[in-house]
Structure 1
Amino acid sequence: MKFISTRLLAIVLTNAVFLASPAIAQEKSIVISSTTSTEQSGLFEFMLPIFKMKTGINVKVVAVGTGQALDIGRRGDADVVFVHDKPAEEKFVEEGFATKRNEVMYNDFVLIGPKSDPAKVGGGKDIQAALQKISTAQAPFVSRGDKSGTHAAELRYWKGAGITVSPTQAWYKETGSGMGPALNTASAMNGYILADRATWLSFKNRGDLVILVQGDPRLFNQYGVMLVNPVKYPHVKKAEGQAFIDWLLSKNGQDVIASYQIGGEQLFFPNAKK
């Protein structure tokens, strides 16, 4: 009797594997290389289950700085790149790694710092004037230093302020990390930091940090999405990747982005071109 039960169990298990195999083989999935801001803000956790429900496509996100995300696309190790550094994205297209860049949504950067505000920048709207004051005061400033979109924007603002920064300067600290860990460092140091508003709103370990500078038009933060060129990399999942992009740009995708809030505050604002 025991032999029959064991044999029957083996047959059942074999049939189960046989029946499941086609389903596994047919499972649709894509890899997206994206930024830490879209991941750490919780946007993907909110958005991707809705996309999967609509399309049946699973999405794996590799969340790194924009520079690294673009490099992943350059190697053909992602199907879609979803980042926020327009000049770098346009270069990515020019180099032939994508054929088109699509604008998806925007938010803004904010300058965060301690309530005590030793550089006296609070309440201002001019990001470059604020950085000049921080440099003059040699107040602690935390930079991501990771070639991300936020890091690229920060360096543009320093350059616009006429200031050269370097990790050799005692007051300027590069972390080489994502937005969340960099904010943790700023909180521990009571230092200033440039952050995207979405990650800031979802950040819990604020300590004495507050928003000190916001509203400068230069702090505008645009996100774009691109399908990695399937001609250059034939293994790219063109149909599934394009389905994700089309959904992001559709009314449904744009409405989903607009509906994502933390504490009643909208984190991203859709602006796909009609």
Structure 2
Amino acid sequence: MKSLRGIFLALIALVLLCSAASAEERLKMSTTTSTQDSGLLRVLLPPFEQKYHCKVDVIAVGTGQALKIGEAGDVDVVFVHARKLEDKFVANGFGVNRRDVMYNDFVIIGPKSDPAGIARAKTAAEALTMIAARGATFISRGDKSGTHVKEKELWQAAGIEPKGSWYIEAGQGMGPVITMATERQAYTLTDRGTYNAYKGKKTDLVINFQGEKGLFNAYGVIAVNPKKFPHVKYDLAMKFIDYVTGPEGQKIIAGYKAHGEPVFFIYKK
């Protein structure tokens, strides 16, 4: 009888344990491929998940698509990098409490031989003009991401509508685009973080143009508006926002490196 009672109690304990595990809160986040491909989320999310006994479900797509998912109320928080689109997202009532998180910059990478000679360019627009004039292969994200938005701004500044066999729209995330550019020995615009994570083992492309002020690349985090979508987990979303913009998250971001180089930078307060 004691043996049966022990088995019964053990089964109850197991059921309670499974119920507790199944009750684990989940935060849905749409974010950019660069936060994922750079490897940052692998170190940034676990401390938050452990602290709040939750799991962050990540949807990594281009910024445009990440915001569209937020507009549908299918996530609780968005973590993206295209300020104009972010401000529109908030102004239209889809998001609240946008905060700056971190930044890096965009760079143009390509073959070490630099066939279009863009290392001599004084501006990014001039570099793209040289690529177009030479008909050197350029791989575009073509996915309405923050990087794609910036690329289109640069082509517009150059007064060029890119088209032709030399210009390829991949419709892919940053990692796959760097891989494609590597295979074709082509140029592409990338955020420095993803490039740092890929250079060496995954790509032999080098930075051919960098340093222009207009290539600044800021990342922001926004809670999806609970007044528009009452089902979202606003409280947990705000805990995440406080975490990534607070001392603990900022320290992790500032300390994260790829191949010994910083991937993202935090704002001085």
TM-score tier, shorter chain, comes to: over 0.9
Q: Give structure 1 stretches of 5+ with no counterpart.
A: none
1:144 aligned onto 2:141: yes
Could you tell me how far 1:8 is from its partner in structure 2?
7.9
Aligned residue for 1:154, secondary structure, equals helix
Query: How far does the alpha carbon of each residue in 1:4-37 deviate from its partner, in whole angstroms, 9 at most, with x for none?
Result: x9x8898467424421244135422201100000
Structure 2 contact 197–259 (Cα < 8 Å) conserved: no
1:202 aligned onto 2:197: yes
Q: Which amino acid aligns with 1:185?
A: M
1:241 aligned onto 2:237: yes
Q: Which residue of structure 1 aligns with residue 43 of structure 2?
A: 46
Corresponding residue to 1:174 among 166, 169, 175: 169
1:183 aligned onto 2:172: no
Q: Which residue of structure 1 aligns with residue 24 of structure 2?
A: 27
1:86 aligned onto 2:83: yes
Match runs of 1:51-130 below 5 Å: 51-130=48-127
- The whole-number CA distance in structure 2 between the counterparts of 1:63 and 1:27 is 22
Aligned residue for 2:95, secondary structure, equals coil
- The whole-number CA distance in structure 2 between the counterparts of 1:55 and 1:125 is 48
Q: Which amino acid aligns with 2:179?
A: N
- The whole-number CA distance in structure 1 between the counterparts of 2:122 and 2:35 is 25
Could you tell me how far 1:53 is from its partner in structure 2?
2.9
Q: Which residue of structure 1 aligns with residue 208 of structure 2?
A: 212
Cα distance change of structure 1 residues 142 and 8 upon mapping to structure 2, 3 Å threshold: farther
> Which range moved further: 141-150 or 263-272?
263-272
Q: Which residue of structure 2 aligns with residue 158 of structure 1?
A: 155
Query: How far does the alpha carbon of each residue in 1:65-120 deviate from its partner, in whole angstroms, 9 at most, with x for none?
Result: 00110011011110000000000000000110012321110000110011121111
- The whole-number CA distance in structure 2 between the counterparts of 1:147 and 1:128 is 19
Could you tell me how far 1:50 is from its partner in structure 2?
1.8
Query: Across the two proteins, how many residue pairs are aligned to each other?
Result: 266
Structure 2 contact 137–186 (Cα < 8 Å) conserved: yes
Q: Which amino acid aligns with 2:123?
A: D
